[in-house]
Amino acid sequence: MIRAAVPTDVPALLAMVRELAEYERAAEHALATVQQLHDALFGPHPAVFALIAEEPAVDSATEPGTEPEAVGFALWFRNFSTWTGTHGVSLEDLYVRPHARGGGHGRALLAALAQICEAHGYERFEWWVLDWNEPSIGFYTSLGAEPMDEWTVFRLSGAPLRALAARSTYDGGGAGGTHRGS
């Protein structure tokens, strides 16, 4: 079952984010806290959203009322294409716990995001995948997704980000400032 995340999901979401970081060989970079993730998803102006994949708890047959287990998630945000003039979906993270892989949860999460695109008239659904992650690449291409080899991803962080910001003449403020995007 796929459903929208609720505030009580944040600890499980963060645990899965850390599991994903471990799988991607970058555990030392998973620094988000429960509070940060909660605020991003459920604060006054959320700009990121999450879907949860659930399975019935292992003991739900013997213990009625047992809560379902979160076995995967998709964390996403809206983007915008100046070419199409519409928003789209950018998938930040897709993760299914190892014991639940092969059960259709990844496909169901992606299908739910495709449904969101269709419901809102979004023209694009995009994400990145590490070039060594062959199982995921194969999965995505089996869905009809196409790699965009002509693009290179850039990132600015840490000291270079601060140095560039110091050169700014923008007077609209930063995060939470008066610019129209906040």
DSSP letters for 121-142 = T---EEE---TT-HHHHHHHHH
> Alpha-carbon distance 101 to 109, whole Å?
12
Active site residues: 140
Burial tier of 129 (Cβ tally within 10 Å: 0-12, 13-18, 19+): middle
Q: 92: helix, coil or strand?
A: strand
> Alpha-carbon distance 20 to 146, whole Å?
23
Phi first, then psi: give them for residue 173, nearest 5 degrees.
85, 170
Which residue would you say has higher pLDDT here, 122 or 179?
122
Token pair recorded at residue 57 = 């708890």
Q: Which helix (H) or strand (E) holds 144?
A: none
pLDDT tens-digit series, residues 60-87? 565 666 789 999 999 999 999 999 999 9
Dump strand ranges (E) for 82-117. 86-96
Name the fold adopted by 2-152: Aminopeptidase (3.40.630)
Average per-residue pLDDT for the chain: 92
Lowest mean pLDDT among 4-18, 51-65, 96-110, 162-176: 51-65
pLDDT tens-digit series, residues 107-143? 999 999 999 999 999 999 999 999 999 999 999 999 9
